[in-house]
Amino acid sequence: MNRPARLVTAALTASAALLLTACGSGGGDESSSDKIAGADSAGKSSASPSVSASADGIDRPEIKLPSDMKLEFEGRQTGDAAKDAILADNERAVSTVWQAVASGDLKKSGMAFYYTDTALRAVYDYAKNNNANKTSWAGTLRYFDRQVTVFDKTSAAVTYCTDESNANVKDLKTDKVNVVETSPESYVYYNTGVKKNKDGVWQIWQLHEDRGSKRCQP
């Protein structure tokens, strides 16, 4: 989702696809997640309670990130309950991908709880590739200018910018952090399609990335 995605790609000599670029235009049928670890448990109440569990009664997967991996989400409260719920699930979705990258446990990452269709396949493949190469990131990612457009009771779009200037590639084999120079590519604009499933979770099904977008530049 971010500079780490770009940095990790560079560290792997371009062998790993950028997280959201790989997603392209979403859609596809739900069979795309048939062989994804943990996908069969998505939406089921057997998931572990989340540290940031809300009062909506949904039994969510637990999300724990390492101490050197920090996420900052701005604009959590819009004053609109529906939009706030969508933003909260977007935040959880992003976090599950980084949990998968950091922990190496795809099945228990929670990605299949918050992603579906081609978006799930994209984030799964991204995390799997980085796990295979023992590559992650350390530092801080800032998510800002987060906007929600609600289409109806079960569909919406979420757009936001990501500032990756304070995050760098981490080699999990050595724990060494490799600093990468900040550039316009460190700022990314994302456009995501989300839909509410039968359990009330707003899942990402479609992802688009505009790396180096002028609208996100400082």
Task: Tell me the C-alpha distance between 44 and 78, whole Å.
Answer: 29
Alpha-carbon 11 to chain mean position: 20
pLDDT (mean) for 154-159 = 96
- Where is average pLDDT lowest: 37-46, 92-101, 105-114? 37-46
Please state, as a whole number, how many other Cβ atoms lie within 10 Å of the Cβ of residue 125.
Answer: 16
Is residue 26 predicted with pLDDT exceeding 50?
no
CA dist., res. 32 & res. 97, Å (int): 18
Mean pLDDT estimate for the chain:
80
Q: Is 203's pLDDT higher than 60?
A: yes
Considering only residues 5 and 162, tell me which one the structure prediction assigns the higher pLDDT: 162
Q: Which domains does the chain have, with CATH numbers?
A: 3-26+69-216 (3.10.450.50)
**pLDDT of 185 higher than 60:** yes
* Token pair belonging to 99: 């949990």
